[in-house]
Chains A and B, each alone.
Chain A
């Protein structure tokens, strides 16, 4: 825009015949154009700067303007919470029938201000945290504004802190909600339950069948599988920006940072500190702070002043003791600081314990329940014992814990609660233990073998041979004849990849003892070899090229026997290796006689048919299309896929023999020349970048029959004909 304007301004000067009068005129004219352009620009950007900060569909009002609802003194009160409630007794699952994609729909009642007969408010209209929590729900996929399609209802009546509300009147307010219906499918969030003197561990507001997401449940009040135990939100850790702290030893072994501990607890802790010195630190409120310092952000030990929650990062273990309530906000601070919490609170239901494995989270060492009388000394030695020699491990686990829960803010609490309820309603689509508990680092690096059960399939099942062919009929028939001699062959499948030519007449095919089936494909693609055809009835599949005629029946049968012992691996004949080329800083493909193997060619290989499904439907990135486009490397892709998902190496069987054309794929003319090797190397580099890792595993062994080349009568060997040419 600038450039053109410049040009326009300078324009008149380029026309010397024009008069000054005109010049002024033109200048005016172009200024108008310029103005117009600027205005356009302004219009484009101006509204954004105001509105982009908020959602277009959210109204903009003040909390003070919400409608006021007057509750008559005699309006109904719900029953007290029903302790026997379970999902199948108190939850109306039919309301979730409309919800597509196994996701519950959540409705939020609009905000009202409730007052009693005298006009005195029932509670604070809404707290900052509850507003954030409702905003998070509203912004999530769970939200619906259609009350008739909702399956879960969240009242906007804020009951996070029982101390800020009038119990009876709040209950009355709940009861008059339009879909209350004894609280069925209603979800209440509460973090600070109970009140003096006995501090109940669940919200005292009568709530009938409503679900309660509560902080500080005890096993007595928690309805397993119905309520959700949530953490107590800590405003402190939300504000504090803690630097990332790597694993490694920390200054203090054990730290107590809670103020207002029961004197008995504090005495015990201080005795421990006196005994162990520097490694134990017991902090308390500061008494002598200068004015203007926020006392909640400071902790003191004698005259030393510490910043809180930063000081938590200085300790390996942090004590979280119960107070009047079981749920303590300090737990959130401790976790965020990456300190292993030592929770000492009898019968406390830990946050999200339905799905989170606290034992594992805290490196399998923490969360001790106390018995009276407290014996810190015992705990202390237990901790020392368990962490001995495992320093790095503790650091690692806690560190990963910090990553998986960046922060227990309102949003995380709301979404985790809804996810838990969602998983109860759609258990078949539920999030797994690993997804809840594995730190992200583990998720990326670890494998999950789809065939994890150690199982040796029975020999009687046999295998299905799949021959991919284009038009080499003569060679194909020879392969069919050879393979049909293998005792365990149960079916032969020919994948006819040539659309321009019909397969030979039925009568021309070799007569063999097992069913032979020809599948015609729609397109000449290499991936057709790995399609999970319905015709494959056995678990074992032998992929074999139409020119592999040099394998003996003994070799193939032995290959099948080896596959039975390793059903989750690729078991193949010609082996290949990938190498790191230090000069070029990339991977290189190697087909020479090496002492190592990391791939087998699928020109002749046994594998489980499930890998066909994985190859066809779950191949990462664009690898499948890439292979089809390049007409090469489908075998390397399969090797990557299997190694990546199982984390295991291939098994090469039997000695190397002279394959007529081991590098041949379905197409003629591809020879073992330099370009071919370059292409194959490119494939490895391409796949490694798509997988984001090098999954192939290098091994130095191959499988031979037990008595191979042993000094033993040949006729007594099970597989005598191995390695012969």
Chain B
């Protein structure tokens, strides 16, 4: 009885045990075996049972690469770079451009600007035999006639037909194999990689220099209109940010929200500027928006964006489909601030680098063709699309961004920790032994180069230094100082005049500062420029002031790339000017660097003896001591040649962290800088 009860108890127990186990197990089982196919999920591409047995689309070994290349197919009248341009003519010196003489008679203002821009280009040649590209200006003459075909036409081969205005006159001659550079070509007629798309410039576009971008701040001001729309008559009107409907006509009828109309040619004050993609003349609005820092929004443009071959427009504009305006508006409203910030800044950079003057447009066109000829050693995309732009980054110097001074800060890297000192001995006197010793004492100094430009014979004995010392015989020209000598093998150059006096500590500190600002000039002595109301021109002075805009190259650190730029990109006339008036060379170098960086140079503290040794008065109109010979007015000539005043003033000096602080001098790394 008891036994039976015990039995049944155990049975019940074990049964419940089993049940528990099974019940407990099943919920775990369920997710593992879902019903298939799951009703909710998408029906995917099948996994074939015999997928392993499927054949490859082509059998290795049978690939038709075994067949010989067919003869080059002719493509009728159509052309591309490979078939219609003969690069063999450009092998020697790269691109050389000969401009066909425009038919006699008055030429338009724009035509004159173009010709002048071509002539100052480093690719220009007066000899047709030397040229590998012949440029033909397609200008409308006042009579409305089109220029005839230039005589050695050669079927248009290696010719570029350039017209700054869209389809100026019906093409009276067969283009043949000629390339076309015209403003806003239609997408259908444009041959990518062969033609060049130009911007549609207004008549009054400045020849050189040009107005800078109008953006005054990086981020949009709060409350500024989201969208500006072009008006029929040439103005802009802004649409509020809160308009829920598409604010442009034709597509929707809802209340467009608060709107403001800006009459005339006023530049839009909005974050985005909507530009019609259909009308070719709207492309001049495109430039207007670009200058204003208003991000262009193009709806299905039928014209090719300017310089689209090299400019990455996705970084500065939005090209969207005109058929889905609501989607575009929503996208604009939701665009993350980081993107808006980047787009706005890019518009300004592109405007300033390639569009702000006729000269820049022409030079960019030639640079694109030069890049095609260079092929693989042309500017990489990064150089075209980040400041300062491809016109200022010469590919003959390097195609690797790290070798240029401007990309270190952009990429968060630092230049190498050594410099070459370049001492220029111009005036008669003793070799600068003391200076050499001071410079050689720096642990950052890699070598010392002495550029002997004095009339005196070369001294035979030079001091023993820890670093290599090379003496080069110069050409007695001041511009020699900025020649890209092969011997300079470091990024940094310490440019020195034999009469400068520097201490090792000053050199060390200035170099460490330069490493933080490798694209700028870092110097000790400064000048400042000013606008002279009375004379209606620029002046400059060496007087000590609360601000400065130039550092003297008699003692300054800068990147060796500026030597290349000085020698190969500056107009020859400017270098001649500097040779004639040696004080101008400092101004010129400062102009050049400022035009590239758009930033002021950097001043570091210097000892007293250096200040005293400084050439006191440059060519300032007011400050020049009477006994000095009159200095030519180089600053105004240079401002004219640059087309604007590139110099930027700074109000600060970089000192060592503990400079003249009330702590023990033992703690200070650069203590000798504080000696009175």
A198 touches B47 (CB 8 A): no
Find residues 412-464 in chain B having any chain A CB closer than 8 Å to their own CB: 412-413
Q: List 22 A-B contacts (CB under 8 A).
A: A56-B34, A57-B44, A62-B49, A88-B321, A127-B57, A128-B55, A296-B61, A323-B64, A360-B380, A365-B399, A370-B82, A446-B411, A457-B216, A561-B651, A655-B659, A655-B660, A701-B516, A703-B653, A704-B659, A706-B526, A706-B548, A708-B655
Question: Using Cβ atoms and an 8 Å threshold, which residues of chain B touch A126?
Answer: 54
Q: How many residues does chain A have at the interface if contact means C-beta atoms less than 8 Å apart? A: 172
A95 smallest CB distance to B (angstroms): 11
Given A143-B42, A705-B651, CB of A610 within 8 Å of CB of B341: yes
Which of A41-49, A270-278, A632-640 contacts its partner? A41-49
Determine whether B33 belongs to the interface, using a CB cutoff of 8 Å to chain A: yes
Knowing A60-B46, A62-B49, A235-B60 touch, does A593 contact B658 (C-beta < 8 A)? yes
Q: Does B348 make an interface contact (CB < 8 A)?
A: yes
Contact present for A705 and B82 (CB under 8 Å): no
CB-defined interface of B305-342 with A at 8 Å, one 1/0 digit per residue? 00000001011001111111001100110010110011
Q: Is the CB of A323 within 8 A of B315?
A: no
Q: For residue B218, which residues in chain A have a CB less than 8 angstroms away from its CB? A: 451, 453, 455, 457, 539, 567, 608, 610
A456 and B646 CA atoms in complex are apart in Å by 13
Interface of A is mostly: loop
Selected contact of B44 from candidates A138, A224, A427, A647, CB within 8 Å: A138
Which are the 4 A-B pairs with shortest beta-carbon distances?
A647-B412, A260-B66, A40-B25, A138-B45
The one of A347, A539, A717 in contact with B83, judged by C-beta atoms closer than 8 angstroms, is A347
Is the beta-carbon distance between A127 and B56 smaller than 8 angstroms?
Answer: yes
In the assembled complex, B58 has its CB within 8 A of some CB on chain A: yes
Note all chain A residues with C-beta closer than 8 A to B70. Answer: 197-199, 324
Min CB distance A434 to B, Å, is: 9
The residue that B25 contacts in the complex, of A43, A102, A613, with Cβ under 8 A, is A43
Residue of B nearest to A111 (CB): B46
Do the beta carbons of B648 and A456 come within 8 Å of each other?
Answer: yes
How distant is the Cα of A488 from the Cα of B222 in the complex, in angstroms?
Answer: 19
Distance in Å from the Cβ of A159 to the closest Cβ of chain B? Answer: 9
Asked if B45 contacts A433 (CB within 8 A), the reply is no
Which of A26-34, A166-174, A500-508, A581-589 lies at the interface? A26-34
Residue of A126, A450, A558 with most chain B CB atoms under a 10 A cut-off: A450
A669 within 8 A of B: no
The distance from the CB of B103 to the nearest CB of chain A, in whole angstroms, is 34
Q: Give the most central of B22, B321, B378, B652: most A CB within 10 Å.
A: B652
B524 within 8 A of A: no
Is A88 in contact with B25, judged by CB distance below 8 angstroms? no
Q: Let me know if A87 is at the binding interface, CB within 8 A.
A: yes
Contact with A along B6-30 (1 / 0, CB 8 A): 0100100010011001101100110
Most buried by A among B48, B49, B328, B400: B48
> Roughly how many angstroms separate A338 CA and B62 CA in the complex, as a whole number?
25
Q: Given A432-B314, A717-B546, is A647 in contact with B409 using a C-beta cutoff of 8 Å?
A: yes
Known contacts A325-B64, A365-B376, A613-B337; is A63 also within 8 Å of B38 by CB? no
CB distance from A656 to the nearest CB of B (A): 5
* B199 at interface, CB cutoff 8 A: no
Inside 8 A of B33's CB, which chain A residues have their CB? 47, 51
* A595 B68 Cβ-Cβ under 8 A: no
A523-555 interface (Cβ within 8 A of B): 534, 536-537, 539
Binds B, one of A129-137, A179-187, A471-479: A129-137
Q: Verify B319–A427 contact, CB threshold 8 A.
A: yes
Expressed in whole angstroms, the Cα–Cα distance for A662 and B180 within the complex equals: 66
Which residues does chain B contribute within 8 Å of A224, judged by CB atoms? 192
Cα–Cα distance between A493 and B82 once the two chains are bound (Å):
63
Please state if B314 and A433 are interface contacts (CB–CB under 8 Å): yes
**What is the distance, in angstroms, from A135's C-beta to the closest C-beta of chain B?**
5
Q: Which of A108, A144, A652, A718 contacts B651 (CB 8 A)?
A: A718
In angstroms, how far is the closest chain A Cβ from the Cβ of B618?
Answer: 18
Instruction: Name A348's closest neighbour in chain B (CB-CB).
Output: B82
Number of A-B contacts defined by CB within 8 Å: 425
In the complex, are the beta carbons of A596 and B657 less than 8 A apart?
Answer: yes
- Min CB distance, A715 to chain B, in Å? 12
A685 interface residue (CB < 8 Å to B):
no
Inter-subunit contact A371/B88 (CB<8 Å) = yes
Q: How far is the CA of A609 from the CA of B217 in the complex (A)?
A: 11
* B72 close to A259 (CB less than 8 A): no
Q: Which of B29, B81, B323, B380 contacts A357 (CB 8 A)?
A: B380
B75 adjacent to chain A (CB < 8 Å): yes
Closest to B667 in A: A593
Q: Are A61 and B192 in contact (CB under 8 A)?
A: no
User: Closest approach, in angstroms, between the C-beta of B647 and any C-beta of chain A?
Assistant: 12
Where the two chains meet, the residues of B that have a C-beta atom closer than 8 Å to any C-beta of A are 7, 10, 14, 17-18, 21-22, 24-25, 28-29, 32-34, 36-38, 41-51, 54-58, 60-61, 63-70, 72-73, 75, 78, 80-83, 86-88, 187-188, 192-193, 215-219, 221-223, 300, 312, 314-315, 318-324, 327-328, 331-332, 335, 337-338, 341-342, 345, 348-349, 375-378, 380-382, 385-387, 399-400, 409-413, 509, 512-513, 516, 526, 544-548, 597-600, 603-604, 648, 650-661, 663, 667-670
| Chain B residues in 8 Å Cβ range of A44 | 25, 28-29, 32
A117 at the interface (CB under 8 A from B): no
Task: Give the contacting residue for B45; candidates A135, A536, A652; CB below 8 A.
Answer: A135
A290 contact set on B, CB distance < 8 A = none
Residue in contact with B222 in the complex, picked from A258, A453, A537, CB distance below 8 Å:
A537
Q: Does A425 contact B (CB under 8 A)?
A: yes
CB of A597 closer than 8 Å to a CB of B: yes
Task: Determine if A127 and B83 form an interchain contact, defined as CB atoms under 8 angstroms apart.
Answer: no
CA separation between A88 and B67, bound complex, in Å? 38
Q: Does A390 contact B (CB under 8 A)?
A: yes
Contact bitstring A675-714, B, C-beta under 8 A = 1, else 0: 0000000000000000000000101111111111110100
B24, B51, B221, B544: the one contacting A707 at CB < 8 Å is B544
> Are B80 and A128 within 8 A (Cβ)?
no
> Which of B193, B320, B650, B668 sits near A219, CB closer than 8 Å?
B193
Q: Is the CB of A369 within 8 A of B18?
A: no
> Which of chain A's residues 305-342 have a Cβ closer than 8 Å to chain B?
322-325, 328-330
* Most chain B CB within a 10 A radius of its CB, from A57, A87, A265, A565: A57
Q: Are A702 and B36 in contact (CB under 8 A)?
A: no
Quick check: B327 and A97 within 8 Å, CB to CB?
yes
Distance, CA A369 to CA B72, complexed state (A): 13
Q: How far is the CA of A399 from the CA of B345 in the complex (A)?
A: 33
B657 contacts A594, C-beta separation under 8 Å: yes
Nearest CB of chain B from residue A484's CB, rounded to whole Å: 22
A449 at the interface (CB under 8 A from B): yes
A59 with B341: in contact, given A36-B22, A427-B319 (CB under 8 Å)? no
The reply on A393 being an interface residue by CB < 8 A is yes
Check B650–A565 contact: CB distance below 8 A: yes
A26 near B10 with CB under 8 A, answer yes
Binary flags per residue of A482-493, CB closer than 8 Å to B gives 1, else 0: 000000000000
Once the chains are docked, how many angstroms separate the CA of A376 from the CA of B61?
26
CB of A520 closer than 8 Å to a CB of B? no
Cα-based distance from A220 to B386 in the complex (angstroms): 31
CA distance A258 to B314 in the complex (A): 38
Contacting residues, chain B, for A137 (C-beta < 8 A): 45
Residues in A597-648 with C-beta less than 8 Å from chain B: 597, 608-610, 613, 618, 646-648
4 further A-B contacts with Cβ under 8 Å, apart from A447-B412, A703-B655, are A158-B57, A260-B67, A701-B509, A706-B548
Residues of B within 8 A of A198 (CB): 70, 73
For A45, give the chain B residue with the smallest CB separation: B32
Q: Could you tell me the distance in whole angstroms from the C-beta of B193 to the nearest C-beta in chain A?
A: 7
Residues of A with C-beta under 8 A to B25: 36, 39-40, 43-44
Q: Judge if A481 is at the interface, Cβ distance under 8 Å.
A: no
Q: Which residue of chain A has the shortest Cβ distance to B326 in the bound complex?
A: A97
Report the nearest B residue to A295, measured CB to CB: B61
Asked if A324 meets B55 with Cβ closer than 8 Å, knowing A33-B18, A610-B341, the reply is no
Bound state CA distance, A565 and B599, in angstroms? 8
